[in-house]
Chains A and B, each alone.
Chain A
Amino acid sequence: GENVEQHPSTLSVQEGDSAVIKCTYSDSASNYFPWYKQELGKRPQLIIDIRSNVGEKKDQRIAVTLNKTAKHFSLHITETQPEDSAVYFCAASAGGYQKVTFGTGTKLQVIP
């Protein structure tokens, strides 16, 4: 089955700096890669996703890149703000009846 590895497990950045979280996946059939943000004590929420026919996607300060050949994808957050502090999960799915496999999460702390 699919295996998703996520690094780093914790990340501290100064407010205004950029943050990068990296994930690798094992199943070459995976074609959907969502990122979820989970604030302390709250539910995970989708912040951005990318499909395998696209190499990069941006939404304001958030961007995701995908390298299908290397089987890795990354989340980039620019101009970080204290409210970006949360746990971020990457995930991968081959679609169809295949489940979504989540990474282990990255705890991002933005220091004011």
Chain B
Amino acid sequence: DSGVTQTPKHLITATGQRVTLRCSPRSGDLSVYWYQQSLDQGLQFLIQYYNGEERAKGNILERFSAQQFPDLHSELNLSSLELGDSALYFCASSVASSGSNEQFFGPGTRLTVL
């Protein structure tokens, strides 16, 4: 157990819908990262937050948005869902904002868009 929690574990929804994925980082970690992992694919970096502020942005679609709240939990919002958005979404946390720190991954949320 990494100490990072994600809810829900599974999410099944229809095209065009909107969903929210939630992540709670390890105690003491200020950075939260979001990744998308499609079937048999690598980890695609979406976005990073550090202590409530956006720090780095990857190939995140305009239909996707995220935020980090004062209690440091983070939410990833996915809207106008398409079939291709079906994937495993991981959240990771680290103690600092630098990319040179170990990232601890949560168990992931498996999103299925029908």
Interface, chain A (partner B; CB < 8 A): 31-32, 34, 36, 42-46, 49, 51, 89, 93-105
Contacts and interface: CB of A to CB of B under 8 A. Distances in A.
Interface of B: 2, 33, 41-45, 48, 55-56, 58, 90, 97-100, 102-103, 105-108
Majority SS at the chain A contact face? loop
A93 to B, nearest CB: 3
Question: By CB atoms of chain B within 10 A, which of A43, A46, A102 has the most?
Answer: A43
Nearest to A44: B105
18 contacts: A31-B100, A32-B100, A34-B103, A42-B107, A45-B2, A45-B105, A51-B100, A93-B98, A93-B100, A95-B100, A96-B100, A97-B56, A97-B97, A99-B58, A102-B42, A102-B43, A102-B45, A105-B41
Given A96-B100, A99-B45, 20 more contacts: A31-B100, A34-B102, A34-B103, A36-B105, A42-B107, A43-B106, A44-B105, A46-B102, A49-B102, A89-B43, A94-B99, A95-B99, A99-B48, A99-B56, A99-B99, A100-B33, A100-B99, A102-B43, A102-B45, A105-B41
Which of B55, B97, B103: most chain A CB closer than 10 A?
B103
A98 B56 contact: yes
Nearest to B58: A99
Contacts, number: 62
Given A102-B42, A104-B41, A43 B107 contact: yes
Contacts of B103: 34, 46, 100
A102 B33 CA distance: 13
Contacts of A43: 2, 90, 105-108
